[in-house]
């Protein structure tokens, strides 16, 4: 398998341009969409002004994500004016959630396709080409796009995403994903392993297994045996010790000791776990329907530290969920200190229509309070990230090189197993190689170091 075989086809033909917002799952979906359209004879373009079809793969997780897309749809109109016959398609979570509004409010939109409707895109494009609206937002209980080979859109040819499951059954009170992405379903492990092997043979050295809640991955084989997430992870890691394997996201309620045992046994399973806490207050966790307490969460952190002492731990946090008091907020800050997160994604609570919180709770924390709490959370995380990076100064790490540093042609950057970015002088190395780097300095976002002989 040559890397060229996985890359988008360009050149003559009707050209598709695709813009992706939101999570890594969407990045993976855009790669599937391109694969489906390429099979219909379309070619890819990275230049919007050349496109015959503009697709935007959207996110509904917070209101500001949706506002950005509405703004973007306005901007797309100029291309349509310049090129009659140009088609505009909205894909993903916002397509699922807002199909009517999209067609009514935004007359330039020709195609609306939800996350489970991408196989239908060739038909939808045909309908739109003959002047109609191509719309399909049917959710599915089975669709995993299992056997479709994604067209790889990553920049580096070193790291790629593999979706192992779709949808979510957790029903966190604030979250729109179960409504936009439907019920949880796992993908046949054979197709996952095939995809990972293909990537490795093409020169890729890192895969990230993706799902809304990877720890509930489950597949029943024809012989009745079951493949759970730890088993799948081991099978992927066994492809080759030079293939690094990451995964996201883990729900704390399902993070098992079995998973940690498998990780501890295989050094190419990366020492980094993303474990969204959302809040440090047990009262808020219950309201959020997270199905664990602060104590349970801390017990899982202790288990990670026991099995994997050098593992980085990262999280997601929400400030200002319904009824959150100063005391609840302080509990989040104290959880952050207690865990000492290496990194966090931090958000202000944003009401999402149709969710349990929107239906049954009042969004009663004033916006100024949400902002002030979020600022405190961000400031604390910056301190914690800096402390975490300072602890790495003087240590040596195996680094997988991803590319040339943005700041200087003479420097490369890569990642440690803990998923931290390291910048160092290039020597005669190239992306895709493993090198040993000694960390000499850091900021809160990056490690700096120099190459050492192994």
What CA–CA distance (Å, rounded) separates 375 from 98?
31
**Nearest distance in Å: CB 234, ligand SF4:** 27
Three-state secondary structure readout of 275-313:
CCCECCCHHHHHHCCCCCCHHHHHHHHHHHHHHCCCCEE
Per-residue x/- mask for ligand SF4, residues 414 to 443, rule CB under 6 A? Answer: ------------------------------
Stretch that binds ligand 5AD, among 90-98, 180-188, 285-293, 342-350 (CB under 6 A): 342-350
Count of residues that bind ligand 5AD according to CB under 6 A: 12
Q: With respect to ligand 5AD, which residue has the nearer C-beta, 320 or 414?
A: 320
DSSP helix, strand, coil percent of the chain (3-state; round to 5): 40, 25, 40
With CB under 6 A as the contact rule, the residue among 181, 251, 352, 373 that binds ligand 5AD is: 352
Residue 174 within binding range of ligand 5AD, rule CB under 6 A: yes
Contact predicate 285/316, CB 8 Å: no
Q: With respect to ligand SF4, which residue has the nearer C-beta, 167 or 449?
A: 167
With CB under 6 A as the contact rule, the residue among 8, 22, 211, 432 that binds ligand SF4 is: 22
Residue 250 within binding range of ligand 5AD, rule CB under 6 A: no
With CB under 6 A as the contact rule, the residue among 61, 172, 199, 448 that binds ligand SF4 is: 61
Question: Which positions from 67 through 126 interact with ligand SF4, judged by CB under 6 A?
Answer: 92-93
Taking CB within 5 to 8 Å according to partner kind, which of ligand SF4, ligand 5AD, none is near residue 62?
ligand 5AD
Residue 205 within binding range of ligand 5AD, rule CB under 6 A: no
Contact predicate 62/350, CB 8 Å: yes
Site of tokens 């664990």: 292
Tokens of 91: 């894909």
Contact predicate 244/206, CB 8 Å: yes
Per-residue x/- mask for ligand 5AD, residues 292 to 331, rule CB under 6 A? Answer: ------------------------x-x-------------
Q: Which of 83, 84, 105, 85 is nearest to 94 (CA)?
A: 105
What CA–CA distance (Å, rounded) separates 204 from 431?
10
With CB under 6 A as the contact rule, the residue among 15, 27, 57, 62 that binds ligand 5AD is: 62
For residue 194, give the H/E element and its range.
Answer: helix 189-201
Taking CB within 5 to 8 Å according to partner kind, which of ligand 5AD, ligand SF4, none is near residue 22?
ligand SF4
Give the pairing type, strands 244-248 and 206-210: parallel
Q: With respect to ligand 5AD, which residue has the nearer C-beta, 297 or 397?
A: 297
**DSSP-based three-state secondary structure for 216:** helix
Tokens of 12: 């003559």
Q: With respect to ligand SF4, which residue has the nearer C-beta, 91 or 439?
A: 91
Strand residue runs (E) in 271-395: 272-274, 312-319, 343-348
**Nearest distance in Å: CB 138, ligand SF4:** 17
Partners of 175 in the beta sheet?
Answer: none
Q: How far is CA 84 from the centre of its chain?
A: 35
Taking CB within 5 to 8 Å according to partner kind, which of ligand 5AD, ligand SF4, none is near residue 111?
none
For residue 92, give the H/E element and its range.
Answer: strand 87-92
Taking CB within 5 to 8 Å according to partner kind, which of ligand 5AD, ligand SF4, none is near residue 108?
none
Residues with Cβ within 8 Å of residue 396, at least 6 apart in sequence: 436, 437, 438, 439, 452
Quote the DSSP letter at residue 87. Answer: E
Residue nearest to ligand 5AD (CB): 316
Q: Which of 112, 92, 91, 86 is nearest to 101 (CA)?
A: 112
Question: Which positions from 125 through 184 interact with ligand SF4, judged by CB under 6 A?
Answer: 176-177, 180-181
Kindly list the residues in this chain that would bind ligand 5AD in the complex (CB under 6 A).
61-62, 174-175, 276, 278, 316, 318, 347, 349-350, 352
Kindly list the residues in this chain that would bind ligand SF4 in the complex (CB under 6 A).
22-23, 25-26, 59-61, 92-93, 176-177, 180-181
């Amino acid at each position: 398998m040559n890397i060229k075989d996985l890359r988008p086809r360009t050149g003559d033909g009707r050209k598709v341009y695709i813009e992706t917002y939101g999570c890594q799952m969407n990045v993976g979906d855009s790669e599937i969409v391109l694969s489906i359209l390429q099979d219909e004879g379309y070619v890819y373009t990275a230049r919007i002004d050349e496109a015959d079809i503009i697709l935007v793969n959207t996110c509904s997780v917070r209101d500001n994500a949706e506002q950005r897309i509405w703004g973007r749809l306005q901007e797309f109109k100029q291309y349509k004016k310049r090129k009659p016959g140009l088609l505009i398609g909205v894909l993903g979570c916002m397509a699922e959630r807002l199909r009517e509004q999209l067609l009514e409010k935004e007359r330039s939109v020709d195609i609306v396709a939800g996350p489970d409707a991408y196989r239908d895109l060739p038909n939808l494009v045909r309908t739109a080409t003959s002047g109609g609206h191509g719309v399909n937002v049917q959710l599915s209980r089975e669709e995993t796009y299992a056997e479709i080979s994604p067209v790889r859109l990553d920049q580096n040819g070193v790291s790629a995403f593999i979706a192992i499951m779709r949808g979510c059954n957790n029903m966190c009170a604030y979250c729109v994903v179960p409504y936009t992405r439907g019920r949880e379903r796992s993908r046949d492990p054979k197709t996952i392993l095939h995809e990972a092997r293909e990537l490795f043979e093409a020169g890729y050295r890192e895969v990230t297994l993706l799902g809304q809640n990877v720890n509930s991955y489950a597949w029943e084989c024809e012989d009745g045996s079951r493949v759970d997430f730890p088993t799948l992870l081991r099978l992927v890691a066994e492809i080759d010790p030079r293939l690094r394997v990451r995964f996201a996201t883990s729900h704390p309620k399902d993070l098992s000791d079995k998973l940690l045992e498998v990780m501890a046994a295989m050094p190419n399973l990366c020492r980094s776990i993303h474990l969204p806490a959302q809040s440090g207050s047990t009262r808020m966790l219950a309201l959020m329907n997270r199905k664990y307490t602060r104590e349970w969460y801390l017990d899982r952190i202790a288990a990670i530290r026991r099995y994997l002492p050098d593992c980085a731990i990262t999280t997601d946090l929400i400030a200002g969920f319904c009824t959150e008091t100063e005391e609840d907020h302080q509990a989040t800050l104290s959880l952050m200190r207690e865990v000492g997160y290496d990194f966090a994604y931090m958000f202000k609570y944003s009401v999402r229509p149709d969710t349990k919180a929107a239906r049954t709770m009042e969004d009663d924390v004033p916006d100024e309070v949400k902002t002030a709490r979020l600022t405190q959370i961000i400031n604390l995380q910056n301190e914690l990230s800096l402390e975490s990076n300072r602890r790495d100064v003087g240590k040596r790490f195996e680094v997988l090189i991803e590319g040339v540093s943005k700041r200087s042609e003479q420097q490369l950057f890569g990642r440690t197993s803990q998923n931290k970015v390291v910048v160092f002088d290039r020597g005669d190395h190239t992306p895709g190689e493993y090198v040993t780097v000694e960390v000499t300095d850091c900021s809160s976002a990056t490690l700096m170091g120099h190459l050492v002989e192994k």
